[in-house]
Amino acid sequence: MASSAVSIQGLRVRRGGREVLREVSCEIAPGTVTGLLGPSGCGKTTLLRSIVGVQLVEAGTVTVLGRPAGSRELRDRLGYATQNPAIYPDLTVAEALRYFAAVLRAPKSDVDRVIAEVDLTDHADVLIGRLSGGQRSRANLAVALLGEPELLVLDEPTVGLDPVLRDELWGLFGRLAAHGSTLLVSSHVMDEAARCGQLLLMRQGRLLAHDEPDGLLRRTGTPDLEQAFLRLIREGALL
């Protein structure tokens, strides 16, 4: 068994002539919730795409669950929720999930389970196209949960959700990790950082820090994680 769920070494990505990721290296331990935080445009989505194996990279390596990122063997071991929902608007929530369950060869019983986990039971028979933005995001997350993947890569899954639903989803993430899943969750909302076991803080394509929330507070001598992030930026601290 791999000692790290994700291992990234010297990753560089260039898009449109611009270096988007600059020598990114980190290890993500199994069974943890790791938050990937930083301002919009700092490279979070590109890093997630590299882990999933759908991003061309210029240099470096990405190993996922002991295999090179993008390997065929990873398809049913990894769940990915994109920032923009990628589900068919002319299907109901239940129809869309039954379709994806068949594609992923997930148990039929998973459909009801994931609908309940993202709190869409009352909307199971509603067309995706008629859902609110937050509801579509939750339906998109439900697809990633099908089959109980070992690694969940979630790109800003709580955007557009009210505080109650955000809290419920973070509770779900914690339960999934407690049962052995590894989660990498991106966000630009710093108050979500305290819900994570580990944090990756990014700015301008570089990692500023990889630590536990309490470790960052001790390291920077600040009272909250937003101030810790600002302190790291001012000091230009890099791993």
Looking at the structure of the chain, the number of domains it has is 2
pLDDT band at residue 56 using 50, 70 and 90 as cut-offs:
very high
pLDDT at 236: 65
My answer on whether 41 and 105 are in the same domain is no
- 191 with 144, same domain? no
CATH number of the domain residue 210 falls in: 3.40.50.300
Claim to verify: residue 137 and residue 28 sit in the same structural domain: no
Nearest-CA neighbor of 203 among 170, 168, 171, 235? 235
pLDDT at 234: 81
Q: Interhelix angle for 133-145 vs 163-178, to 10°?
A: 10
The count of other CB atoms within 10 Å of the CB of residue 130 is 11
Same domain, 68 and 10: yes
Mean pLDDT of 171-198: 91
Distances (CA, A) of 145 to 29, 39, 83, 215, 216: 20, 26, 15, 30, 30
Q: Check whether residue 137 and residue 156 sit in a common domain.
A: no
Place of tokens 């990114």: 24
Same domain, 70 and 187: yes
Q: Give the number of other CB atoms < 10 A from CB of residue 21.
A: 26
Same domain, 199 and 121: no
Q: Does residue 1 have a pLDDT over 70?
A: no
User: CA angle 86-89-92, nearest 5°?
Assistant: 110
136 with 210, same domain: the answer is no
Asked whether residue 43 falls in the same domain as residue 131, the answer is: no
The pLDDT tens digits of the residues spanning 134-177 come to 889 889 999 999 998 999 999 999 887 888 888 888 999 999 99
Take residue 202 and report the two structure tokens written for it: 């990014």
Residue 176 lies inside a defined structural domain of this protein: no
pLDDT of 238 higher than 50: no
Same domain for 103 and 4, yes or no, is: no
| Residue recorded with tokens 């148990």 | 107
Rounded to an integer, what is the distance from CA 176 to the centroid of its chain?
Answer: 13
Clarify whether residues 157 and 142 are in a common domain: no
Full residue range of the structural domain in which residue 191 is found = 1-77+151-162+182-239
